[in-house]
Structure 1
Amino acid sequence: MKRRYISFMTQISLICVGIVLLPFIGIMAFFAVDMSQKIDEEYRTVLEKANIQIDTGISSIFSDVERLSYLHVVNDSLSEALRHKHEVYDRSFLDDNKVVTNIVRDAVLLNPNIYSVVIINNAGNAYDNSFNSYYWKNMYSDLPIWGELAKSLPGRRFINIQYRSSNEPEALMLVKPLEDIERGKTLGTIGITISFRSIRNVLNNAVQNHGNLVVYNEAGTPVYTYSSSDIQDKEAVINDIWKELQSDNTDQSSAVKDFTINRVSYIGGVQKLEQLGWTVVNYTNRSYIRNIYYQNIRMFMIITVLVIVFDLLIAFIFIRRLNISVHGLCQAMENSGEKGILESIHPERTEFKTEIDMLIHSYNNVIRRLKDSMERSLELQMNEQRMEFRMLQAQINPHFLYNTFNLISSIAGIQGVDSICKITGCISDMFRYSIQESLIVNLKDELREVNNYVTIQTIRFKDRLYADFDIEEETLETPVPIFLLQPLVENAIIHGLEPKEGIGYISVVAYMADDEVELIVKDNGVGISPVKMKELLKAMEKEQIEPISTEGHSSIGIKNVNQRIKAYYGDAYGIRLESRQNSGTSVVIRIPKNITKRI
C-alpha cells in the first residue's frame, strides 16, 4: 500500500495549530471551573463573616438593653418600691415613682439606644421616665397583656415593633416580667423602647454589593428588608426564601445556603438571632457575583484569540520560508548521494538565506575541522609531554620555600628574636603540611597545624586572644580530611574575635559521642545576626560556593568544609551552626570514628 504523502509545511502547520489551540482550550476550561469554585468559596467566606458581624452586633445591642430588666435584682430600693401597692397617687406613690425613675434614668443615660422605659407593678401602678406615647398610645393597657404573653415565650420576652408611615421599623418594645427572686413570683412588667437605628446600621453594613437582606420573625413575616444601592429592582423572592428555609431540616443558627428560585440561583447567609427570634437572610443573585468574573474571562479570551491569530500568521510565514530551505537541502543531498561522498554540499541558491543554509555551512565546516584535527593530533601529544616536564619542575619551588622558612627561623633564633623564630617555625610547619600529597590526616596532625595557626595569631593580638584545646586522647587517631578545623578557627578569629572589643576567647573541643567523634570550635566574638545566619544556611545548601559577607563568619570557608565532610562521610554528616549576636558562635562537626568510605 502506497503511503500518503503529507508535505513538510502541512505537518508543521498542523503541529503549530495543535500546540497553540489544544493547551489554550484546556487551560481556559480549567481556569473557568477553578475560578468559579474559588469565587463561590470566597463569597461564602464573606457571608460567614457577615453572619458573625450581624449576630455579634445585634446581640451586643440587645444584651445591653436587656440588662435593665435585671435592675431590681441588683438594686433593693427598686425592688422594694415595686412591691408597694398604691390605691391612689398620693405622696408615697410620688416617693416611689421618684426612686424608680431616678434609678431607671441613670441606667438609660448609659445606653443611647434606649428611648424610654415603662414599669407597671402587679398592683397596676405605672412608672416611666418621660415615656413618649407617640410610639405606643395604648401602652398602659397593653403592657400587662404583653407581660403575660412574654411568660409563655422562649426567653420569657415579648418584642413588638413600631413602624413609620413608610412601613419601615423605627423602634422596638422589649417586654419582660420582673422576677421577684426572693418570693418566687413577679414584681410586674417592664417595657423598654429601643431605637431601631443601631440595629439597622448593623444589618445594612453586612450587605455586600449587589446584595439584599430580609429579616423574618418567628412566623415568617418580613419585619425589615434592605437592598444595596446598585440593585435597581429588588428581587421579589422573599416568600420563596422563607419556604426554602422551612423545608431545610437543619437546625444551624448560622449557615451559608444555596437557593434556586424560579430557575435563578442565589447564595445567602442565614443567621438566627435567638434573643429576638428573628432570622436574617443576606442573599445575592449568583449572576451578579460572577458577572465581573465573566467579563474578565471574555476580555481574556478576546485578547488570547487575537494573539493566537497573530502567532499563527507569523508561524505560517516562517514555515513557508523554512519549507523552501528544507526543499533545497533535500535536493542538494540527493545530488550529493548520486556523486558519492564529497567534501562539501552546495545546495541550490534560494532567494534569501535561512537556518537550513547555516546548517549546510556548519556541516561543511565539520568536514574541514576533522582534517585539521588529525593534523594537530601529534602536536597535542607533544604539548602534553612538555606540560608534564614543567609540572615536575614546579614541585621544586614549594620545597625551596619550606627550606627558606627554616633558614629564617634559624637566623631569628640565633639573633634572639623569639617571636619571629616562633612565627616562621609555625609557618614552615603549616607550609609543609599544606603541600603533602595525602588528603586524609589524623586528627592530631590537624590539631597541630591549628595550634601553629593559633600561635601566630596569639603573637599578633598579644594579650587580646586566648585559646584552649580540650581533646580526648581516644579521638587523636581519627582520620579526617586535611584542613578540616583550620578554616573554622581562622573564621572565628578574623570574623568573630577581631571586630570584638576586649579579650577574645576560642576553644577547640574533641570528644567521643557513642561511635562518633564530635568536634566543636567555639568563640565569644560578635556572633552572627539572624538575617545573616539565614543567608549563610541557605548558601550552605547550594552546590556552588558563593562568598557571602556575614558579621560572624565567612560562608566560603564554612561551606567548603561542609561539602568536603559530606563528600567523605556522606550526606548524614556536616556542620551545625549555633550563634547569638554579641555572645559568640559555635561550629559543631560530628564524624564517624571508623571510616568506611574513601574520597
Structure 2
Amino acid sequence: MFNKIVVLYSGVMIVLFAIAAALVYQYQTQRILSEQTDDNLKSAQVLNIYLSRQYENIQNVFQQIYGDATLSDDLLYFLNHDYEDYLKHRLDVYSRMREQRLSSFKTLLMNYLEQDSSAKNVSIYSYPNDVHMQISRTNQQLFNGSNSAEGKESWYAGREQHSWDTLPLEEPGKVQEGKASRAYVYSREIKDPWTLQRVGMMTVEFDARQFTSWLESRAAITGRILVLTAKGLVIYDSKDEYFGQTYPYRLDTEKAGEWVELNEPSRVSILNVGNAGLSVVGIVSQSSIRESTQSLRTGLILVTLVFVVFSFVITSSIIRKYSKKVQRIIRSMNRIGEGDLSTRIQMSGEDELQQISQRFNDMGDRLEQYIDRMYASEIKQKNAELVALQSQINPHFLYNTLESIRMKAYFEGVKDVGQMIYSLSVMFKSMAKKSTIVTIEEEIDMCSVYLELFCLRYEGQLSANIEVDPDIRQCSIIKLLVQPIVENYIVHGFRSQEHDNRITVQAQRSGERIVITVLDNGTGIPEDKLAHIRQTLNRTLDPPEKGYRSIGLMNVHERIILNYGSDYGVTINSKVGQGTEVRMEIPMLIGGGSA
C-alpha cells in the first residue's frame, strides 16, 4: 500500500513539477520574445533616424543648389560645357567679381562630405557632354564616358526610376575594380530650373558598414535588421546575407508585430523612412528565440529533476517511517490473534498511529480483564449448577404437590387460591424448562400468567392489557426478557393505595425488528435517578454499581446485547406521577432454539 502511495505521489509531483516548469518556460519565452522584439524595434527606430537624417542632408544640398543662383549657374555651366570652358568661365567670373572666394558646387559638395561621415563620395553626371566628376573628401576626378548611348540611357532611366541602389553598378565610363562590395548609392536627376530640361544626375555613394557602427554605438542589435528600397532591394542586412539582392519574402505592413512565415516563423516590424522610399525592417525569428531559451530550458529540466528526486527521497523517507509503525502494529495484532494477550505496542509521537497503538493497548487491557471476569463468572456458574444439582428436587413431585393443594382449595371453595396456585404451577413449569430460546407467544404467555397472579392478589387495583402482533408470535426470543420489566413495575411503580393501576405490554413488528413496550401509569422515576439508570445502561457489560436497584433491567439489556449485538437493547422514559415506558428492541428471527 505504501509503495503504491509513493508511486502515486511521485507521479502526481512529476506532473505538477512538469506543469509548473512548462508554465515558467512559457512565461519566460514570452518575456524573452517581448524583450527581443522591443530591442529589435528599438534598433530599427535608431536606424530609421539615421537614414532620415542622411536623406535630409542630401535634400538640403539640392535645396541649396536650386535656392542659390550662383551655385545653380555654376553647376549648370559645368553640365552644359566642356571642363576647360568651365574653368575659363570660373576665371572670368572671379576677375569680374573680384571676390577672394567664389561659391561653387564643388565647395558645397565638399562641405557636405565633411558633415556626413557615412557619405564616401559624390558624382555629378553630365548628359550633354557624357562626362562625370567624382568628388571625395580628399580629391576630385573627371571621367569621360565610354559606354554606348543605349547603355547610358538605360542606366540613367534605372537611376531615375529607383533612387536607391547598391554597388557595384555598371556606371557609364566608370570602372568598379577595387570598390567596396558593401556600398549603396542615392541618385537624383538635375534639371535646368529655367527650362526644366534634364541636364545631368548627382549620385551619392554611402558605406553600408556605417549602419553597423551606428547601431552598435546606440543600441544592441537583436534579431535581423534590413533596409529595403521601394522595389525590395536590400541595401543593408545585419546578417550580411541578402545585401544587393531583392528580398525573397513578401512583407505586409498590416501584419507587423504578428507571426509571419518567412524562411521560418518570425515577428516583423516595418518602419518607413519619411519620403526617402526606404523601409527599415526588424525581424525576430523563432530560431533566435529558441537559442535564447536553450539555457533556460536546460536549467528548468535540471531544476525539475532535482525537485522530483528531492520530493521522492523525502516522501519515501516519511512513508518508510510510517510503514515501519504500521508493520509493528500488524505484528502485534498477529500476536494477539495467536493468543498472546500480553502484547503491547510502544510507539512515540502524537500522530494517529500513536493513538491507534494506545487504543490497541487499551483494548488488550480490557480484553484481559473481560476474559478474567468471564472466566471467574463461568467458575461461579459451574459452582452454582453443582449446588443446584445437589439440592435439586424432583419437578414431578413439586407439580403433583401443587396440584393436590389446588384441588384441596377448590374442594374447600377457595377458588381464587386455587387459581393462583394453578398460575404459579404454570410459571414454574415454564421456568424449569432447560431451553433458553422461546417464541414470542410463549414469553408473552408466561408474562400474562405472572400478571394474572398479581391481578388476583390486588383484586380491583390492577388491570393488565397485552397486545401481540400475530405476525411475530412464532418469532424467537431469549426467555425471561419481559417478565423482569413487569416485575420492576410491581416492585417499584405499583401504587398500593390506588385502584387505577394499569400496565400494558405490546409486541409489534417494526421493519426487520421486534419492539416490545411495557407501559404503566405508576409512580414514575425522578429525573436524577432516570439519568443514573440511562448512564448505567450505556456502560454496557460493566458490573452495576453497588446499591443499584434495577438489576433486572440491566440484566435484560446485557443479555440482549450479548445475544443480538449493540444495535439492540433497552431504552427507558419516565415522568414522576405519570408512569414509565420501557422499550426493548430485538431482531426479528423466525423459529426457536435451545441453549
Q: Normalization by structure 2: what TM-score?
A: 0.43
Which structure is higher in RCO with an 8 Å CA cutoff and minimum separation 6?
A: 2
Q: Normalization by structure 1: what TM-score?
A: 0.43
Rg bigger for which structure?
Answer: 2
